[in-house]
Amino acid sequence: MQPPLIFIGMHRSGTSMLVRLLENSGLFAGTRKDRNNEAIFFKQLNFWLMAQCGGRWDAPDPVHYLLKNKELLTWAEKYLRKMLHSPRAIHFLGLRQYITGRGINGINIPWGWKDPRNTFTLPLWLRIFPEARVLYIERHGVDAAHSLFVREKKLFSQTTSEFQKYQFITPYRPKKGGFYGSPRCSSLEGGFSLWMEYIDQAQQVLADLPDHRVLKLQYEHFLEKPVSCLQQCAEFCGLDISIENIEKISADVDSSRAYAYRKNPVLLEFAQIHRKELQLRGYTSPP
């Protein structure tokens, strides 16, 4: 089996863009993915892991209770190994590749999966894939927090509108989800504090890995020099792709998305207020 590429990083920080570009370059990242380009099979396993200790993507800290409990960790690892070699892996591999390759162990091409939750569950995945390589991308915390804020506001508008329209059936069909996907991220402060948790966790878990198994990227630098950065990623992933194809694949990268907060006075002020927290994590405000 070829060791996987495990993508980590904060939500709304460029992980979807990165995986999409690498898929176009030849990386296999799953046959069934959601709208955020996350492999549903591995996303569900991460969701299950976080649920064991009362955590979720926007409240990830309880995962540390799982990782510190040796007994629970052992059984969680057994469960994951069982799932990886079960027919449910078809959702990631596709039926043909599952049959011909005999499951996950039969993958002999560059492959991996993207899920920001990997940032916290990575220690367990490394027990299963001890030779895995990790690709980490980070983005300015104010832009990441604002992107989450905008997404939550849009979702809130949709869910409240639907509830108002169909509230007469609520007594018979109770509402399954909430009005917000993440109440925490419905404010800039909440999203920014979550960004700090992800950045700190990523730095901690990557510190234990040798340099040749880790590639760190900055979203803003990637947008500035997409061809050289994508070439670096392709080499790290073991992809055989020409520079001409890399240039073609990188053509639609929008460099204007870098440091978008500078165009918004409210966000710029927020960045100034939190300049110390940003500087501690490698960002100056403004850059």
The average pLDDT across 40-58 equals: 96
Cα dihedral sign, 119-116-121-182 = positive
**Which positions ≥6 away from 225 have C-beta within 8 Å?**
none
pLDDT over 70 at 65, yes or no: yes
Of 136 and 104, the one with more pLDDT:
136
Tell me, what's the pLDDT at 165? 87
Written as six digits, the tokens of 13 are 């920080």
Look up the pTM and report it. Answer: 0.94
| Cis bond before residue 287 (omega within 30° of 0) | no
DSSP H helical ranges for the chain: 15-24, 40-51, 63-68, 70-84, 90-93, 95-101, 118-128, 141-166, 188-206, 219-224, 226-237, 243-249, 265-273, 275-280
Amino acid at 171: P
pLDDT of residue 176: 79
> Tokens 């799932």, residue?
83
At 285 the pLDDT is 60
Tens of pLDDT, residue by residue over 87-118, are 999 999 998 888 877 678 889 899 999 999 99
- Tens-place pLDDT, residues 169-212: 888 888 778 899 999 999 999 999 999 999 999 999 999 999 99
Q: Compute the chain's Rg from CA coordinates.
A: 20
Distance from C-alpha of 222 to C-alpha of 14, rounded to nearest angstrom: 9
Distance CA 248, CA 250 (A): 5
Mean pLDDT score of the chain: 94
- Give residue for tokens 């991308």: 137
Residue 222 has pLDDT above 80, yes or no: yes
The pLDDT value recorded for residue 96 is 85
Q: How many Cβ atoms from other residues are within 10 Å of residue 169's Cβ?
A: 10
Model confidence at 286, in pLDDT bands (50, 70, 90)?
Answer: low
Max distance between CA atoms of the chain, in angstroms, equals 60
pLDDT recorded at residue 172:
82
Q: In the chain, what are the domain boundaries?
A: 5-280
Q: What is the mean pLDDT of residues 236-247?
A: 96
Contact 42, 151 (CB under 8 A): no
Mean pLDDT for the stretch of residues 51-75? 95
| 133-138/112-114 β-pairing | unpaired
- pLDDT bin (cut points 50, 70, 90) of residue 217 is very high
pLDDT for res 104:
86
> In CATH, what is the architecture of 5-280?
3-Layer(aba) Sandwich (3.40)
Band the pLDDT of 287: cuts 50, 70, 90: low
